Amino acid sequence: PRVAVVIVAAGSGTRLGAERPKAFVTLQGLTLLERSLHAVRGMRHAADPIVVAPAELLAEAAELSERASGRPVQVVAGGATRQRSVAEGLAVVDSSVEVVLVHDAARALAPSTLFDAVVDAVVERGYGVIPGLPVSDTVKRIGADGIVHETVDRSALAAVQTPQGFPCEQLLTAYALAESDETDDAGLVAAAGFRVDVVPGDAHAFKVTTPWDLRRAEEMLTGSRS
């Protein structure tokens, strides 16, 4: 299938608190954005990356992206929310594309195998799929005052990741209909009435959100805990 991967890298990274927008922070010499592009480049399926970057970093993003991908990459400016940024990326997806993956640049260590598995599942099923992992902690529903109400049934929960994959026309329809601001693409696609399934995620696809996450990613790459 013809595949496009929209990599959203336009966030500021408030919780990470680095000097640069999060996708441009380096992890063992490569930015999170470059690492995400390497994963796309390593896919068994040929896929065209589309990078959504902060407006003030478009030139740098284009240069990094071309280097990481070995060819020119479409780079567009993002919006104020993740959903707006995805919409900007979708606006430049070629009409011949059949499967679109949306990926957080912040999930810099998501392996190529996960991207390929998502494409395969979308092709096989004909609807959207998102990677998810079982929730291992006990989860409590709590009140505003911090009072513990009850334990949530973990068997009915999944911690979801990216890349999330969809038949292109379903994702475009969902974005065209979008009214609410959802935290992920599957939320919008489901709101538009399309089925979305969870497929097995990968622990390496965790999102770098806080300084602690960045340290964990460094440890994974070096295999050390120093």
Contact residues: Mg ion, CB under 5 A: 11
Q: Give me the helix-helix angle, 32-41 and 58-69, nearest 10°.
A: 40
Torsion angles phi and psi, residue 214, rounded to 5: -65, -40
Q: What does 75 bind: Mg ion, ligand CTP, none (CB cut-off 5 to 8 Å by kind)?
A: none
Task: Please give the residues from 38 up to 77 whose contact with ligand CTP meets the rule CB under 6 A.
Answer: 52
- Contact status: 216 vs ligand CTP (CB under 6 A): no
What burial letters (b/e) apply to 175-194, b meaning 16+ CB within 10 Å?
beebeeebebbbbbbbeeeb
Stretch that binds ligand CTP, among 5-13, 37-45, 56-64, 67-75 (CB under 6 A): 5-13
How is residue 91 written in tokens? 């606006």
Task: Please give the residues from 111 up to 140 whose contact with ligand CTP meets the rule CB under 6 A.
Answer: none
- Among 60, 207, 216, 221, the residue binding ligand CTP under the rule CB under 6 A is 207
How is residue 112 written in tokens? 């190529």
- Contact status: 85 vs ligand CTP (CB under 6 A): yes
Rounded Cα–Cα distance for residues 209 and 80 (Å) = 18
Name the minimum Å distance from CB 89 to ligand CTP.
8
